[in-house]
């Protein structure tokens, strides 16, 4: 570990137990000295939502690892344009961070800690600012909702179209979305559920989760005609056109979204690769897009679809967790894999694939939650 990292870690241990206090001080300091910055943040800022401070502290550890962090920090800087962050804001945030750390650590704070945080922040923020400066995309696209279809109590399929410029992306990527009318300044990530098409439409499959803010608004409040904001695409769960291997897709719930985009892309050129889609949910309602998948399978001989329910005795198809169902088929050691869904579902599937000796290099996945 470099000297800078050591000083950052050592000084953070002085305040780690009092993170709430650091966060409180940090935001108060920032908003008192620059009240206009308050408008960049969500209306309700409970501790869980106070993402910036936690993110700042984590990112500082990247300072000793330029190879790994450069691309990430450039992308983070580009992405911050959607929050309306301008280069001059970085210094304000840096000072507020330092003052918060100093105030909470009290007498134990040493002068070399001050310099370490200053240096690290300078390096990290310079990379973010450079990333933002070279971005040729708009900070976000305004996109008009075209259709909104409920597929059960918690799921909706919606389409929208960016108004100003086309948004280029690859099948399998995701974007962050804001619903300005309902949840201003809260951005959440959603996979685009269709392959890029000529009329520039984006489809999303959204499942409202627990006490969540944005997904529930997208499912229950958003209506055709209103505007969403959509930021630049990210993610690498995309097709490798040079691979000739057959493909297995494993989707849990709305984890189907990026898989559907990949399948749609394959319908445009694939003739030679077998594609198996495993689609799991707790019950039949959760298989919200099975009818469309079955239509695709009827049309394209290379596509097969296996639906499964983990908690629905009346379902006549496969029973059990989708990871176990995948293991019943196979062998899979020569296939490319795409896995998408909740964190427990993705974890279970990766475990199964490891047991089945599938090399990890052939697996691409997106995990929808941290848990
Ligand atoms: C790369 C990526 C792609 C995604 N694509 C999609 C998609 O296509 N469709 C889709 O419906 N979702 C997708 N998600 C998940 C989506 O971003 C989250 O469900 C969303 O952040 C929830 O936002 P919220 O404001 O509704 O909930 P929040 O207000 O952020 O969370 C409220 C509470 O719910 C918990 N929670 C959050 N997400 C989940 C979850 N997924 N499962 C269980 N508990 C959760 C949180 O821990 C918190 O306690 C994707 C996530 C990632 C990382
Ligand atoms: C070194 C500098 C910075 C780093 C490493 C950093 C990092 C991050 C990260 C990782 C996130 C979480 C992103 C997400 O959840 O999608 C975030 C959120 C955010 N950042 Fe930054 N950031 C920095 C500087 C700034 C500055 C200067 C501002 C301007 C005020 C800013 C404003 C925000 C806002 C508004 C959010 C969303 C907060 C929320 O949803 O609660 N950041 N930051």
For the CA of 186, the nearest ligand: 2
Residue ID of nearest Cα to ligand 2 atom 9: 55
Q: Which two tokens stand for residue 49?
A: 């939502």
Q: Is the pLDDT of residue 1 over 80?
A: no
pTM of the model: 0.92
What's the order of all strands across the beta sheet hosting 141-150? 183-191, 174-179, 227-230, 141-150, 155-162, 202-207
267 CA distance to ligand 1 middle (Å): 29
Supply the DSSP symbol for 218: H
Gap between the Cα atoms of 354 and 352, Å rounded: 5
State the chain's mean pLDDT as an integer.
93
Q: What pLDDT was estimated at residue 47?
A: 46
43 — pLDDT class (breaks 50, 70, 90):
confident
Ligand 1 first shell, C-beta below 6 A = 174, 188-191, 205-207, 209-216, 254, 257, 342, 366, 368-369
* CA distance linking residue 26 with residue 239, whole number of Å: 43
CA of 272 to the centre of ligand 2 (A): 45
Find the 51 Cα to ligand 2 centroid distance in Å: 7
Q: Which atom of ligand 1 is nearest to the CA of 192?
A: 8
- DSSP for 110-154 reads -HHHHHHHHHHHHHHHHHHHHHHHT--S-S-EEEEEEEEEE-SSS
Q: Is the pLDDT of residue 16 over 70?
A: yes
Mutation choice for ligand 2 from 23, 31, 52, CB with most ligand atoms inside 8 A: 52
Q: What is the pLDDT of residue 49?
A: 52
Cα(301)–Cα(299) distance, integer angstroms:
6
**Ligand 2 pocket mutation pick from 69, 80, 121, 235 by most atoms within 8 angstroms of CB:** 80
Q: What is the pLDDT of residues 208-259, one digit of tens each?
A: 998 889 999 999 999 999 999 999 999 999 999 899 999 999 999 999 999 9
Q: Is 338 left (phi over 0), alpha (psi -120 to 50) or beta?
A: beta
Nearest atom (ligand 1) to Cα of 213: 25
């Amino acid at each position: 570990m470099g000297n800078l990292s050591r000083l950052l870690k050592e000084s953070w241990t002085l305040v780690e137990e009092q993170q709430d206090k650091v966060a409180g001080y940090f935001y108060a300091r920032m908003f008192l000295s620059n009240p206009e910055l308050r408008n960049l943040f969500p209306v309700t800022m409970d501790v869980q939502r106070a993402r910036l401070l936690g993110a700042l502290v984590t990112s500082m550890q990247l300072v000793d690892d330029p190879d790994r962090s450069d691309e990430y920090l450039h992308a983070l800087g580009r992405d911050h344009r959607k929050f309306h962050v301008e280069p001059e804001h970085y210094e304000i945030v840096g000072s507020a961070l330092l003052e918060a750390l100093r105030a909470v650590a009290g007498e134990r704070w040493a002068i070399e800690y001050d310099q370490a945080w200053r240096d690290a922040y300078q390096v990290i923020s310079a990379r973010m600012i450079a990333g933002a400066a070279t971005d040729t995309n708009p900070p976000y696209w305004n996109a008009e909702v075209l259709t909104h279809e409920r597929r059960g109590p918690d799921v909706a399929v919606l389409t929208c179209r960016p108004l100003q410029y086309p948004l280029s992306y690859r099948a399998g990527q995701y974007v962050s979305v804001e619903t300005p009318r309902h949840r201003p300044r809260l951005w959440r990530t959603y996979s685009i559920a269709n392959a890029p098409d000529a009329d520039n439409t984006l489809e999303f499959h959204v499942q409202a989760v627990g006490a969540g803010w944005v997904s529930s608004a997208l499912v229950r409040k958003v209506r055709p005609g209103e505007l969403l904001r959509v930021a630049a695409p990210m993610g690498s769960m995309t097709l490798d056109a040079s691979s000739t291997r057959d493909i297995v897709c494993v989707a849990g719930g709305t984890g189907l979204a990026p898989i559907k985009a990949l399948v749609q892309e394959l319908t445009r050129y694939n003739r030679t690769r077998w594609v198996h889609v495993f689609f799991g949910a707790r019950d039949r309602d959760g298989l919200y897009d099975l009818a469309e998948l079955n239509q695709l399978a009827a049309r394209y001989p290379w596509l097969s679809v296996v639906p499964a329910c983990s908690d629905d005795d009346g379902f006549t198809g496969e029973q059990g967790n989708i990871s176990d169902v995948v293991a019943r088929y196979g062998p899979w050691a020569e296939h490319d894999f795409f896995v998408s869904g909740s964190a427990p579902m993705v974890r279970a599937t990766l475990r199964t694939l490891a047991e089945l000796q599938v090399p990890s290099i052939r697996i691409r996945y997106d995990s929808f939650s941290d848990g």
